[in-house]
Amino acid sequence: MWFFGWDVVGQVPVGDKFVLIAAPHTSNWDFPFGLFALYIYRLKVSWIGKDSLFKKPFGGIMRWLGGIAINRDSQHGVVNQIAKQLRESSKLAVAITPSGTRKRRDYWKSGFYWIAHAAQVPILCGYLDYGRKEACLGLCFVPTGNVREDMDRIREFYKGIQGKYPELATRIRLRDENT
CA angle 135, 51, 27 (to 5 degrees): 30
pLDDT tens, per residue, the chain with 179 residues: 888 999 999 999 989 999 999 999 999 999 899 999 999 999 999 887 778 888 888 888 888 887 877 776 656 688 888 898 899 999 999 999 998 777 888 899 999 999 999 999 999 999 999 999 999 999 999 999 999 999 999 999 999 999 999 999 999 999 989 87
Residue of 163, 178, 177 whose CA lies nearest to 25: 163
pTM score: 0.87
Q: Where are the domains of the chain?
A: 2-178
d(CA 150, CA 23): 16
